[in-house]
Every structure is written in C-alpha cells, then in structure tokens.
Amino acid sequence: MKKYDIILADPPWPYKARRMAQNNGKHITGIEDEYDIMTMSDLCSLPIANIRSKNCVLYLWATGPKMPEAIELMKAWGFKYSTMAFVWDKRIPNPGYYSCSQVEYVLVGKKGKCPVRNITNTRQFLTEARTKHSKKPEEVQNRIDKHWVNCEKIELFARRYRPGWDCMGLELNGTIEDFLAGVRMPLRKEEVKKMITLTDQAIENIKRLQIENDTIGEGLRFGLTGGGCSGYRYVIEFEKEPSPKDQVFKFKDVDVFVSDDHIAKLQGSVVGWKESLMEEGFDIDNPQAARACGCGESIDIVIEKEER
C-alpha cells in the first residue's frame, strides 16, 4: 500500500453524554445524528501502520474532553505525542459545564524522524468562525502544506477532497476499514471524474430494484464479460460484498463494485437509466467503447495507453 509522510485525522469520537439541541422542547439531536461514531476500541485497532511511512507526522483533531483519548489513540497508532500543533478559536462559544467551549485542538505526534521543514514560523493559533457541524477550517491544512515539502499527505475521515492530498472518508469513497485493508478507492477528486458516474435517475432505480429484489444494503457489480457479436457484454447485478480486487465507488448510499481488471475498460463511463414504451433499463455511455453492435448489448473496446 501507499505510504504517507503526513497523516491528518479527524476521528468520529464517541461521547458519553449526548450534545443536545432542542427545537420547541421536542426535537433532540446528538453527535450520532451528525455522523457515524466509532468506539475507542475500533479506532485504536485501525491498522494505521499499513499506510504510515517510516518517518511520519500525525496531526490529530481533538476537543477538550477527548484529550486523554487522543493521546491514547496516538500511541495505539504508533506515534509519540510531540506538542499542540494548532488551536482553533471558533469565535462562537458552546455551553459548557466549567466554562463555555470555544476552541478545538490539533495534536501532533511523530514516528521516526520528521520530514524536511520548508519554513520555521508556522503559527499555532488561528481564529475563524465555525460553520457547518464538524467542518474544520482549511487554514490548518494550508499551514501544513507550507510547513513541509515533498511529502505524501492523506486526510482520514475527510468530508471533501482537497488538492494535493489523498482523502478518504465515509461520505467520499468508503469505510476506513476497507481502505486500510487495501480496497482500492478514488482518493482524489480527479480520480472520481475519471472513473464511474451514476446519474440521479439510475440511483433512484437502483434503490427501487433493491427493494423489489430484497437486496437492500447490497452493492452493484458493474463489469464486463466476454461474449456477444462485438466481444464484450456489460454485467450489472447485485452482490453482498466487494472482492479483494474491487474498487468501491459510493453514490448516495449506493456502492458500486468494479474489478481492477475492468477499470481501464470502463473508465469514464456514465451509467444512466432509460425508459420507453417498450423497455426500461440501464443506459451506459462508455468512452472506451470503440463500437457497439446492433443488438445494443455488445461492445468492442480499445484502450488508449497513457504516455509515460
């Protein structure tokens, strides 16, 4: 697996007490309503060593109440705590038992030696008004980018892609367990564009078919098989789990499994849905298809090799 010199993580910390917000005294929400939390046992057991380079720096987001767990997690992942890298003043306070909470922290730890620094005057404190729940300021990573040179960087538990970083998160491309187990997934926005796209109409009908076929929760296999008058036929069917050779793409609660053997032949495909008086079904626009036969189910594919 690819190894990283810089790892930034914003773990889905478990909280014993629910953070509550009431609407007219009736509606109550908590952390678990905002994102899927993980237990400390699950977090500590993640095999971060699979992606950690020999000399690596870990930046770890934490709140005041989670400081002991943050140090514990850092040790479990094989890092030695160094210092507090950043303090984020969110400007807007939250109610607290001892005082109003207004800041979050980024701890830093290292494994081995640090990479080569680019600058030596990176500021620790930043103030920026908080916005969406759990959304962190980009300025933290801006400062990390300026501080280190020639480093491979990854953000774990990410909610958006960021230029220059590999990013993985449940809302982007899959589970961290699958990623650390070696399941291939698009880690950059440009990789997503190059791979597979599902139209909204296709997603809607996939969910309908899952209900009709009692396959709710299963993924959609998108692949190829030999045959037909032009050489290949598309395969679209439900499967419970991806295989070790699959890349997994996530589209609004629909997982799509594509084998590494088929990625090059399906790269850039848009899977849509067509309906007419005579028939309905998937409609595939594959830029790799050189030609299609008259039956509409068989294709010939020519792969253009990238220049080295």
Give the tens place of pLDDT for each residue, 262-281. Answer: 887 888 889 999 988 778 89
| 305 has pLDDT over 70 | no
Distance CA 161, CA 234 (A): 30
- Per the model's pLDDT, the better-predicted residue between 195 and 50 turns out to be 50
- The predicted pLDDT at position 155 comes to 98
**Neighbour-count burial of 152, counting CB atoms closer than 10 A to its CB (0-12 exposed, 13-18 middle, 19+ buried):** middle
What percentage of the chain reaches a pLDDT higher than 70? 86
Q: Is the pTM of this model over 0.75?
A: no
- The predicted pLDDT at position 193 comes to 63
* Averaged pLDDT score across all residues of the chain: 85
| 206 has pLDDT over 90 | yes
| 297 has pLDDT over 60 | no
Query: What residue ranges do the domains of the chain occupy?
Result: 4-188, 195-301
How sure is the predictor about 250, in pLDDT bands with cuts at 50, 70 and 90? Answer: confident
**Amino acid code (one letter) for 26:** K
| 132 has pLDDT over 90 | no
Q: Which of 23-27, 103-107, 148-152, 279-283 has the lowest mean pLDDT?
A: 23-27
Q: Where are the beta strands (DSSP E) in the chain?
A: 4-9, 21-23, 27-29, 52-62, 80-94, 101-111, 125-127, 153-156, 166-168, 197-198, 219-226, 232-239, 246-251, 254-259, 270-275, 280-285, 289-292, 298-301
Cβ atoms of 34 and 159 closer than 8 Å: no
Fold of 4-188: Rossmann fold (3.40.50)
Distance CA 46, CA 61 (A): 17
Cβ atoms of 57 and 8 closer than 8 Å: no
Calculate mean pLDDT across residues 14-26: 55
pLDDT in tens, 212-235: 999 999 999 999 887 655 578 889
What percentage of the chain reaches a pLDDT higher than 90? 55
Fold of 195-301: Hypothetical Protein Aq_1857; Chain: A; (2.60.300)
